[in-house]
Structure 1
Amino acid sequence: MQHKKTLLILIFGLILIYSCNIEKEGNIGQTIITKWQGDKRSAVSITYDDGIINQFTVAKPIMDKFKMPGTFYIITGKIDGSEKGKFIGRPKEEIIEETKYSKTNENNFFERASLIAFTGTTEAIDFHSRAGSLYEAGNRLEAYIILDEGYSKIRRGKIKNLNEAIFHDNVIDTTTWQDLKNYAKEGHEIASHTVTHARLAVLDEKNLLYELEQSKKDIGHFLGEKYTFSAECPYGTENERVMEYAHKLYPSLRNRMPELYLEEINRGSDKKPEESKKEYVQWQRGPLTNTEMDKMKEWVDTILIHDNIWLVLVFHGVDGVGWEPKTGEELEDYFKYINDRKEQIWTATFADVTKYIRERKSTKIEIELKEERIKLHISSNLDPNVYDVPITLKTYVPKSWKNVAINKDDVIYKTQTDTLGSYVTYSVMPNERDLVLEEALQNN
């Protein structure tokens, strides 16, 4: 009886092994696009707002040392050669005179909020910004009162006049378009943060469009159309009217991405990314001056536990220059921490991660098994002139293959194994068309 039992166990084991081998062999040709480029565990994009000089002179060299590309959202109106900020509309004096007799209301608010920063006076930016903040928070009547207060001071000469209108109050940028062109050639993304860093939600249509369109034109002119892909509307606005206009001009906004398969968690949210059921989670974190390094490193640890989180870091000031600055020493420590985990983390620009995700979702692969070859036909409905980031494929091959050649190229790929069988990973363009995988008899 014991012998029969042992025999049955042996037979069952052989059947199980045979079944597993059948299953593994049945996966031959199966090809997937990995969730992240290089089949990494997660992705990180390091972004900077405002185009502050220390971002380029302090932070960028640290990133260069670790071969990390960054995304720099620049205020184009601060750069010599660009079109400057301006008010588009009726004569300034006419609007200011009207504020004597009529209070700010829903009918004139956008026009007055658009003008006040260009009245050539101190505190002008502050009145514009405070009114915009209140408006976006839903406190519209308070926003109207702030503008009335500002215009009253302007009329009565209580605000000092300046020789010229100023707008964004950051330190004057000394970065040139040639500098930015060089940084772009090094692999960094230079992208739009509008002309003047205005509160877009409180601009009228003409001035809102100018901020978005002119910034795009200048970047396209000086750097090329490639760098007009993404933008960040100032103050992280998610105002519906602004998003509608901006999405028509820029394929990607850090403010908001409309993909249904992606959940966005903005900087102000305490929601935990692991709670999301979406295929992708864009998790934005904005390190401030008092944000502890342990907390920042904890964000990195979190994305390594899960395979669907894209950590988007948002920095502003660096080494005492700009809003909520972090020191160069802190950035060195933090970027090294990320770099030490580069085998698992794909660090890429905001544009490149966006493109990769969209390419992965839109690319179709047809598989044909013929003799000792695996033939793949790859197609995508995205514009190849825009969507130019290589995608990573993972193709299962016969377990007898130790090395693989693709399209008889000289590059040889070594196979790896997982629970589904032997496979090879490699990168191609989304519109690569036809690929043929064959066993490479020797590793050249």
Structure 2
Amino acid sequence: MLGYSWVTSRLIIFSRNQITGWLFFLTQFLGVDFSLSQTINIEQSRLLYSISPVYDFKRGIVSITFDDGYSSQFGLGLRALNRFNFPATLYLVSDFIDSAKAIELKRNLPFEHEIGSHSKHHYHLKSIENNCLIEEIYGSSYQLEKLLERRVLTFAYPWGEFNQNIKSTVAKFYIASRSANLGYYWLDRIDYYGLKVQAFNQGVESRTADKWVDFAIKNRCWLVEMIHGLEGNGYLPLDSADFVSHLEYINEKKDDLWVATVSDVIKYVSEASKTKVSCINCSDSLYYLTIVDELNDSIYNQEISIEFRIPDDWQQVNVLGAELFKIKYSGGNSFALINVLPSENPITIEPKSFKELVSHNNIRWVYQGQNPFVDKIRVAIYLPKVDDISVNLIAFNGAVLVQGYQSNVAGDVEIFLPTSSLPEG
């Protein structure tokens, strides 16, 4: 089902006029001639944008999670996190939270941090009956929400133990659950109810954890760190100096990292996969469009990041209804990068100043689909005149894996390369 990662494959384009080029999938939007002379319809609009795999156009993600609710987490842990404005997910055992602790948390725990469920009593879930299983899983979130007056959306399996029946039960009440299995997640193949972790516990030095961060950035994936106690308090307590040093390293990499709670990452991935962009009125002087995801807004309220290809003469841009992240110039093209919460409300992107156009007359790259991909690669190429085009996916050993071909085409040409039959790798 899963195709080759774009980082580990190459694309080669041939045309009759012998213009040939190697393109590495690691790049984004290499460039295209773009000159609008008429209104764009809904079918054409899909070539105008790409949704970033990671919020805020970052390269990797890290989520910091705490288990069990030890006092060191609420004290030393939160003080260190708040110093860098990093949110965390705290998986609490609901019966361990008395009314006094609940009052303290409501007063002192910023809403940027997520409260997750770690069951009601921290039992071995595989050993209890189904009716008790529901009480352990759902009863915990009900109790936490009542005590702390905030939504509980994700779950962590006590002892890291689960089976298909436990996963199915959790899926009825939560949007995701975290395991204790080691690993990372690529955003196109997330097991929502078996999220893997890297265990940052006693005996793990900060430089080891720092390498996890480097891996997430390099491979554009999601790192979930699991921490229990700190400074002698709790299960396998982590040395506080290592914890703080690691946070300092994450802070150094913040230009490439989205530091987010587990629920916010799940929301982002879910919304990005469901988002539809439709042009109400798009032309060379205005983009008036809607961005919707058809998900429950009371849960899925995370902004997503979208890169819009805009006419080359739009030098400065006004955006209404969304946040303009920046204007990017790449390969002779212009792009408006925005963060927006999908909703029924239209947004407007329009020029407020113009620049002199430079003519481009060669084959140019228009669009690449989601990276990494699942069962197909979607690309679009610009041809300045009628021609034949061949697009090949080639492994580093030279083997042609997939070929796409179209004849007698011009302008923006969209090609799909099926990859479902390729092995993972």
Is the shorter-chain TM-score for this pair beyond 0.5, marking a shared fold?
yes
Matched, 1:195 2:213: no
Query: Which piece of structure 1 moves more, 279-288 or 313-322?
Result: 279-288
1:298 corresponding residue in structure 2 = 211
> Which has more radius of gyration?
1
Cα distance in structure 1, aligned partners of 2:324 and 2:135: 52
Matched, 1:329 2:248: no
CA contact (8 A) 1:403 1:413 kept: no
- Could you say what secondary structure the match of 1:415 adopts? strand
1:261 corresponding residue in structure 2 = none
CA contact (8 A) 1:388 1:429 kept: yes
Cα distance in structure 1, aligned partners of 2:136 and 2:67: 16
User: Judging changes above 3 Å, is the alpha-carbon distance between structure 1 residues 354 and 277 closer, same or farther for their aligned structure 2 residues?
Assistant: closer
CA contact (8 A) 1:180 1:190 kept: no
From 95, 114, 122, the equivalent of 1:77 is 95
Matched, 1:312 2:236: no
Matched, 1:209 2:134: yes
CA contact (8 A) 1:284 1:314 kept: yes
Counterpart AA for 2:216: I
Q: CA deviation at 1:294?
A: 2.4
User: Judging changes above 3 Å, is the alpha-carbon distance between structure 1 residues 412 and 44 closer, same or farther for their aligned structure 2 residues?
Assistant: closer
Matched, 1:355 2:279: no
- Could you say what secondary structure the match of 2:134 adopts? helix
1:249 corresponding residue in structure 2 = 173
Counterpart AA for 2:106: K
CA contact (8 A) 1:193 1:233 kept: yes
- Could you say what secondary structure the match of 1:325 adopts? coil
The answer to which structure has the higher strand fraction is 2
Query: Which piece of structure 1 moves more, 37-46 or 419-428?
Result: 419-428
Cα distance in structure 2, aligned partners of 1:210 and 1:321: 29
1:238 corresponding residue in structure 2 = 162
Cα distance in structure 2, aligned partners of 1:209 and 1:298: 38
For structure 2, the residue ranges without an aligned partner over 5 or more in a row are 1-16, 22-29, 37-43, 355-425
User: Judging changes above 3 Å, is the alpha-carbon distance between structure 1 residues 239 and 408 closer, same or farther for their aligned structure 2 residues?
Assistant: closer
Q: CA deviation at 1:31?
A: 1.5
From 328, 331, 337, the equivalent of 1:425 is 337
Task: List 4+ stretches of structure 1 deviating above 6 A.
Answer: 26-29
From 53, 61, 64, the equivalent of 1:46 is 64
Cα distance in structure 1, aligned partners of 2:265 and 2:182: 22
Q: CA deviation at 1:195?
A: 1.3
User: Judging changes above 3 Å, is the alpha-carbon distance between structure 1 residues 80 and 372 closer, same or farther for their aligned structure 2 residues?
Assistant: same
Matched, 1:288 2:201: yes
- Could you say what secondary structure the match of 2:242 adopts? helix
User: Judging changes above 3 Å, is the alpha-carbon distance between structure 1 residues 412 and 353 closer, same or farther for their aligned structure 2 residues?
Assistant: closer
- Could you say what secondary structure the match of 2:72 adopts? helix
- Could you say what secondary structure the match of 1:23 adopts? coil
Q: CA deviation at 1:353?
A: 0.6
User: Judging changes above 3 Å, is the alpha-carbon distance between structure 1 residues 377 and 186 closer, same or farther for their aligned structure 2 residues?
Assistant: closer
User: Judging changes above 3 Å, is the alpha-carbon distance between structure 1 residues 407 and 246 closer, same or farther for their aligned structure 2 residues?
Assistant: same
Aligned residues: 317
Cα distance in structure 2, aligned partners of 1:207 and 1:73: 20
Matches within 5 A, 1:340-379: 340-367=252-279, 368-379=281-292
Cα distance in structure 1, aligned partners of 2:161 and 2:210: 27
Q: CA deviation at 1:292?
A: 2.8
1:163 corresponding residue in structure 2 = none
CA contact (8 A) 2:63 2:89 kept: yes
Cα distance in structure 2, aligned partners of 1:30 and 1:279: 25
